[in-house]
Amino acid sequence: AVAPGARLVVGDIGDTSLVGALIRDKGIEAILHFAGSVVVPDSIADPLGYYLNNTSKTRSLIEEAVAGGVRQFIFSSTAAVYGTPPADAPVSETVAPAPVTPYGKSKLMSEWMLQDAAAAHGLSYAILRYFNVAGCDPAGRTGQSTPGATHLLKVACEAAVGRRPHVEVFGTDYPTPDGSCVRDFIHVGDLVAAHRMALMALRRDGGGMTINCGYGHGYSVLEVLDSVQRVSGRKLDVRMGPRRNGDLASVIADTTQIRRKLGFTPALDDLDTIVATSLEWE
């Protein structure tokens, strides 16, 4: 999955000696920080592990960035920092964060550290709060390869091609139109474009920004499964189960800022397109 011309160094962002040496030796000017643990129920079972991997190691990375003179820092955050947003309303960046899970809290603490370090040391930053990232590279070069993945679309596509026996729906009694959770799914290709735009903006204008990354509308779990069946032409074994700890009924992004500050216009905002790229990858 490593692009031609890119250098891969296998290591840990908490390894300050390794990270510091790379920044100095390669003259690194910008860091895009994607590393972290992302499964909400796991964070409830192992909060200290999430605070170590997501928060403590991010602090180490920021420290080395400052020491090495890095000029721009882009951080992958999450809509989970908002906690329980207003029902049926897009959540904007002006909403006071109130995370309800260790995962969301670990990311919010990282946001605070980055903002404070930027103010003290003149670091330009962008905090991109992802909603639900989905889909795979339309050119088929890369896709989600996580072993034992828990993401809905990955699980459903694996089931559609025979790699899983069934798909479980966690909760069917939420206050949504069909009782299943609703999420704002953004195609990974559009998310990549948002990162490029954010880096260009930081290089041009400096400063800092916190921006939602989503489409401003959502689909339910059952709608996603219907799309997978429609696009694949295969019937899934869908089983209804109880709610999972930490799951929210509906989370939709207010996309005013990403459009205004970055000039973001999505190119892949279509559920069947998102599903088709995922199925092609599988």
List, by residue number, the catalytic residues: 103
> Which residue in the block uniquely carries the two structure tokens 């909603």?
131
Angle at 23 between CA 22 and CA 27, to 5 degrees: 110
Torsion of CA 204, 208, 210, 214, to 10 degrees: 10
Angle at 183 between CA 140 and CA 276, to 5 degrees: 25
Alpha carbon distance 58, 114 (integer Å): 9
Q: 62 and 118 in contact (C-beta within 8 Å)?
A: no
From the CB of residue 153, how many other CB atoms can be counted at a distance below 10 Å? 25
Can you say whether residue 96 is alpha, beta or left, with left for phi > 0 and alpha for psi between -120 and 50 degrees? beta
Residue 20: alpha-carbon gap to chain centroid: 26
